[in-house]
Each structure stands twice: as structure tokens, then as C-alpha cells.
Amino acid sequence: MDKFQDQAALSCELSIKKARNIEFNSTGSLFVRCYMSAGNKNRVRFQTTEVSSSNMAWNQSFSLDCLGTIESMSSMLFKGTVIFELRWRSNISIFGRKRKSQLLAKAEVPWRTVYESSTMDTENWIVMNSRKSLADGVKPPAVQIGIKLGGALPAIPNAMTQNKSCGARCQCRSCVNCELFALDAALEFF
């Protein structure tokens, strides 16, 4: 049996467009940081360029080519998420060094929602969970994103769709050890 026979490949394009409902009392820059599973409890991190808090538009995309076993790719598509963090950084440097960023809001998008759509893509405003409590009538922060999947995508095995938790009867022994998203990441600007 060919060792490449049980391999699956997919391509992913992730775009970060703009943000809204962001309130600021100080000057600084905004950016979005994204995390995706890379297997073995590792993550791949992407980050947009920093824009002024008055602009709030990035129009950036990230392209990925992913390779793994059919089992690990199915597990990622069924159980994995993309994490989006809206972050702020002060423009004031300390001893010539940039200051650490602060998390403003966070959201997770399940891969499954993209995989199960008829076109295998989504473009939405994702409402984020704010780190600060919001006053009555104030809308939570939102970021406009797009995710598009392509390539030789695996089918999600019945055992994974029927068993919601990964236990002894689950067929996806590589849920923790999948080898994804480590091949190719390139930053593109539209």
C-alpha cells in the first residue's frame, strides 16, 4: 500500500477585512492575530499589519497549504477552530522597543461551518467577546473575515460525526497529534 494513499491536502485562504464597534480613549494601533492548530498541541500564528485606531481596515489575506493524514485532516475539519484576537498596541515606545499588545476582544470560528457550507467558504462579520463589560446599548466589537477551503478535502468519517467527544470509541486517535498547517504560509495583500 502506498504511504501517500491515506494523505489529504487542503488549501485555505483567510482574509481579514475590517473592524467596527471599537471604542478608544487613547491613541495606538489595532491588529488582528489569528491562531490555527498545527498538531501536537502547536499553533500557527498570523498577524495583520497594525493600523491606526481611526482606520480599522486591513484588507489582508493569508494563504496556507496543508498536508496530513485523512484521519487528522478530518479531525481538524470536524473539531478545529480558527481563533481571532483583536489587539491594541500603544504608539509610545519604551527605550526604543514596542510595547506589548493588549487583547481587546476574541472570537472562534469552527472549521466545520466553512467545510459544511455549499461553497466551502464564508464571509461574515464575527461578533467578538470583549474583555471589558459593555454598557447597555453598546454593540460588541466585530471583525469582517473570510475563509475559503479548497483542495482534496477528506470526508468526515461517520464515527466522528456520531461521537461528539473524542473518547475510547472515537476513530480519530490523532485528534491531538494531527500534522496540519506547517507546510506553507504566505502573507498576501489584495
In tens digits, what is the pLDDT along the chain, a chain of 190 residues? 455 567 878 888 999 999 998 876 667 889 999 998 766 677 889 999 999 877 889 999 998 888 788 887 777 888 888 999 999 888 777 776 777 888 989 999 998 888 888 888 889 999 998 877 666 777 889 999 999 988 766 665 544 444 333 333 333 333 333 333 332 333 333 3
Please report the pLDDT score of residue 164 as a whole number. Answer: 39
User: 2 in a domain, yes or no?
Assistant: no
CATH number at residue 129: 2.60.40.150
Closest CA to 142 of 30, 62, 52, 60: 30
The torsion angles phi and psi of 90, rounded to 5 degrees, stand at: -70, 145
Residue 135, CA distances (Å) to 51, 125, 130, 172 in order: 26, 21, 11, 44
Which DSSP symbol is given to 168?
T
User: 93 in a domain, yes or no?
Assistant: yes
Closest CA to 43 of 88, 89, 87, 81: 81
Helix residue ranges per DSSP H, 48-138: 70-79, 111-115
Contacts of 26 (CB under 8 A, 6+ apart): 90
Number of domains observed in the structure of the chain = 1
pTM beyond cutoff 0.85? no
Domain that holds residue 180: 7-189
Which DSSP symbol is given to 5?
T
Contacts of 158 (CB under 8 A, 6+ apart): none
User: 148 in a domain, yes or no?
Assistant: yes
Please report the pLDDT score of residue 156 as a whole number. Answer: 57
Please report the pLDDT score of residue 144 as a whole number. Answer: 95
User: 83 in a domain, yes or no?
Assistant: yes
pLDDT in tens, 158-168: 444 443 333 33
Please report the pLDDT score of residue 61 as a whole number. Answer: 93
